[in-house]
């Protein structure tokens, strides 16, 4: 199991985070919210054995929901994905089917089994989920048998593409992650809201693994050094906005100085500074395009360049 999978499971296995998720996407208006204490861990591992074969599956997270009397009334499964998977409906169907099979095997007499509801939580921010969301999208179903075909649909939650209204329904660290992923998808969303982070190490480590951005390692080191009690994300991510600007300025100065020294004369030094400034702007723009997966125009907009600087950048990058 990869480190990213472990980071995801570590955070979303916490009952308060999982309850926040269910209340935002499953509980409808007028229904009582699900409380963290209503949830308990169920085994993510299912094994079935018969005379001829054994089957073994491990889910990411599965929780048991109990009523006020402690009676199990549902199982909620959550699968974490950072990339679209074309076989996801088949995988979820297999997980649910095996869960029902195990329940049925242990059911006594005419006892009923409890329903299983599975969601897919998609952490991707560079592109939307473009893989199948139903079994019918995985198959080529002839028209003459469509009325007999039993479809199986899955629910994909695309955190980075939630609307403001949907994000407002979230709370706690789930809201922080959704806001961060939406920001990475569209960095022009400033200022970042003040959101207190409860599980700071888990959230920063998860965002670092999802995005691959070193800023979260820096923030994590800072937090572990000071261990602040009230840790919020807004002011911390402001330093993220300046991080690449600072890096680009430093790199540009080095390039300009080097070129100026090579030219030697006063005129050459002046020219070197001009070229150095251009190299600085190019370096900053390329870094934003790479890190943020932005187009040239969007990267220049992000760096708030004026029209003259934009013209130089376009010319240099042709």
- Per-residue b or e along 303-312, where b marks 16 or more CB atoms closer than 10 Å to that residue's CB: bebeeebbeb
> 24 with 169: CB under 8 angstroms?
yes
Long-range contacts of 293-302 (CB under 8 A, 24+ apart): 293/126, 294/187, 301/188, 302/187, 302/188
CA 130 to CA 171: how far, in whole Å?
Answer: 27
- Which of 176, 165, 167, 181 has its CA nearest to residue 81? 181
> Tens place of pLDDT for every residue, the chain, 318 residues?
456 667 777 788 889 889 988 988 888 888 888 999 999 988 877 666 665 666 667 888 899 998 877 788 899 999 989 899 999 999 999 999 999 988 888 888 777 899 999 999 999 988 999 999 999 999 999 999 999 999 999 999 999 999 888 888 888 888 888 888 888 887 665 556 677 788 888 888 888 888 887 778 888 887 787 777 777 777 766 666 666 555 555 555 565 566 556 555 545 445 544 556 677 777 777 777 776 677 887 777 776 677 777 777 777 776
CA 54 to CA 47: how far, in whole Å?
Answer: 7
- Which of 76, 2, 1 has its CA nearest to residue 38? 76
At 269 the pLDDT is: 45
Phi and psi at 37, nearest 5°, equal -75, -10
At 47 the pLDDT is: 63
At 268 the pLDDT is: 47
At 253 the pLDDT is: 58
CA 41 to CA 75: how far, in whole Å?
Answer: 10
DSSP strand pairing (116-122 vs 72-81): parallel
* Residues paired with residue 157 on neighbouring β-strands, in sequence order: 121
- Token pair of 167 as six digits: 């994000």
Contacts of 239 (CB under 8 A, 6+ apart): 215
- Token pair of 195 as six digits: 């959101």
At 280 the pLDDT is: 74
CA 53 to CA 122: how far, in whole Å?
Answer: 33
CA-based diameter of the chain, in Å?
Answer: 96
> Which ranges constitute the DSSP H helices of the chain?
3-12, 15-25, 88-106, 135-138, 164-168, 172-185, 200-211, 215-226, 234-263, 266-292, 296-302, 307-316
DSSP strand pairing (54-58 vs 45-49): antiparallel
Local structure of residue 64 (DSSP, 8 states): E
Angle, helices 215-226/234-263, rounded to nearest 10 degrees: 120
The model's pTM is 0.69
Instruction: Give the angle 82-171-157 at the CA atoms, nearest 5°.
Output: 30
What is the torsion angle, in degrees rounded to the nearest 10, for the CA atoms of residue 208, residue 209, residue 212 and residue 218?
30
* Residues paired with residue 58 on neighbouring β-strands, in sequence order: 45
CA 90 to CA 137: how far, in whole Å?
Answer: 10
CA 37 to CA 164: how far, in whole Å?
Answer: 28
> 296 with 313: CB under 8 angstroms?
yes
DSSP strand pairing (72-81 vs 45-49): unpaired
CA 248 to CA 260: how far, in whole Å?
Answer: 18
């Amino acid at each position: 199991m990869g480190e990213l999978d472990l980071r995801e499971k570590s955070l979303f296995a916490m009952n308060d985070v999982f309850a926040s998720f269910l209340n935002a996407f499953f509980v409808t208006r007028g229904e009582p919210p699900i409380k963290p204490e209503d949830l308990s861990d169920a085994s993510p591992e299912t094994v079935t054995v018969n005379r001829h074969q054994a089957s073994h599956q491990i889910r990411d997270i599965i929780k048991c929901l109990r009523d006020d009397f402690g009676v199990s009334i549902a199982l909620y499964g959550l699968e974490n994905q950072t990339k679209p998977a074309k076989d996801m409906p088949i995988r979820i169907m297999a997980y649910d089917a095996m869960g029902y099979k195990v329940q049925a095997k242990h059911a006594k007499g005419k006892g009923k089994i409890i329903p299983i509801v599975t969601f897919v939580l998609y952490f991707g921010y560079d592109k939307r989920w473009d893989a199948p969301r139903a079994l019918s999208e995985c198959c080529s179903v002839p028209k003459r048998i469509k009325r007999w075909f039993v479809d199986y649909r899955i629910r994909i939650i695309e955190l980075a593409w939630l609307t403001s209204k949907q994000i407002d329904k979230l709370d706690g660290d789930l809201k922080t992650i959704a806001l961060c992923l939406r920001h990475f998808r569209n960095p022009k969303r400033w200022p970042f809201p003040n959101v207190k982070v409860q599980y700071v190490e888990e959230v920063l480590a998860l965002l670092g693994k999802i995005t691959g951005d070193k800023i979260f390692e820096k923030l994590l080191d800072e937090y572990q050094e000071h261990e602040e009690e009230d840790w919020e994300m807004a002011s911390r991510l402001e330093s993220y906005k300046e991080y690449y600007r600072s890096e680009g300025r430093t790199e540009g100065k080095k390039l300009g100085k080097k070129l100026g020294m090579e030219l030697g004369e006063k005129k050459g030094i002046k020219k070197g500074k001009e070229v150095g400034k251009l190299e600085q702007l190019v370096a900053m723009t390329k870094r934003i395009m790479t890190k943020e997966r932005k187009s040239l125009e969007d990267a220049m907009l992000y760096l708030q360049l004026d029209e003259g600087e934009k013209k130089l950048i376009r010319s240099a990058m042709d």
